[in-house]
Chain A
Amino acid sequence: NAGVTQTPKFRILKIGQSMTLQCTQDMNHNYMYWYRQDPGMGLKLIYYSVGAGITDKGEVPNGYNVSRSTTEDFPLRLELAAPSQTSVYFCASSYVTGTGRQETQYFGPGTRLLVL
């Protein structure tokens, strides 16, 4: 198992450019998440998905979009990049049973994004 993989590892964007951060998991997890982590700060939830075709906003969704067409993939789209989106982005996945038992959340290696 590769677990959770993310691409790219690092990217520099100019203000106003767009890009897609890729995330894939091979553990057949139903839940997937996108977080951003600013220096010295905790993890803030951007978007999450409880299964293919279902997505919902987290704490800081503005400026981002997601889609979940398959169980494995959960790309994050940045439209019109702004300096405030400079951060480290982590994708994560977990399995939640039908009775609400939450299992371990696994994180990808992260994507470091710099917007200049």
Chain B
Amino acid sequence: GENVEQHPSTLSVQEGDSAVIKCTYSDSASNYFPWYKQELGKRPQLIIDIRSNVGEKKDQRIAVTLNKTAKHFSLHITETQPEDSAVYFCAASIQATGGSYIPTFGRGTSLIVHP
């Protein structure tokens, strides 16, 4: 099955700095890569996603890049703000045996933005 590694597990930055979170995946057939933000005590919510036919996608201060050859994808947050503090999860989705599409999640990165 798919295996997703996420680094770092904790990331501490000053307000205004950039933050980068990296994920690697094992199965080259993975074709959908979402990123979720989970605030303390809340549910995970999608913040951005990218598909295997695209190399980069941007939405205001958030961007995601995908390198299919190296099988890694990254989340970039620019001009970080204290409200960006949360746990971020990456996921890679593949068509499993039987034809179902199931995402595999990384273990999460706790981002702390210091004012």
Contact = CB atoms under 8 A, between A and B. Distances in A.
Given A56-B98, A102-B32, A107 B43 contact: yes
Contact of A100 (B101, B105, B106): B101
Interface of A: 31, 40-43, 45, 48, 50, 56, 58, 90, 96, 100, 102, 104-110
A59 to B, nearest CB: 8
Interface of B is mostly: strand
16 contacts: A41-B108, A42-B105, A42-B106, A42-B107, A42-B108, A100-B31, A100-B95, A100-B101, A102-B93, A104-B34, A104-B49, A105-B46, A105-B103, A107-B44, A109-B42, A110-B43
Interface of B: 6, 31-32, 34, 42-46, 49, 89, 93, 95, 98, 100-103, 105-108
A90 B108 contact: no
A107 B46 CA distance: 9
B43 A50 contact: no
Nearest to B90: A42
Contacts of A48: 100, 102
Contacts of A105: 34, 46, 103
B100 A50 contact: yes
Contacts of A108: 43
Given A100-B95, A104-B34, A104-B49, A45 B44 contact: no
Contacts of B46: 104-106
Contacts of A107: 43-45
Given A48-B102, A106-B46, 13 more contacts: A31-B101, A42-B105, A45-B102, A96-B101, A100-B31, A100-B95, A102-B93, A102-B101, A104-B49, A105-B34, A107-B45, A109-B43, A110-B43
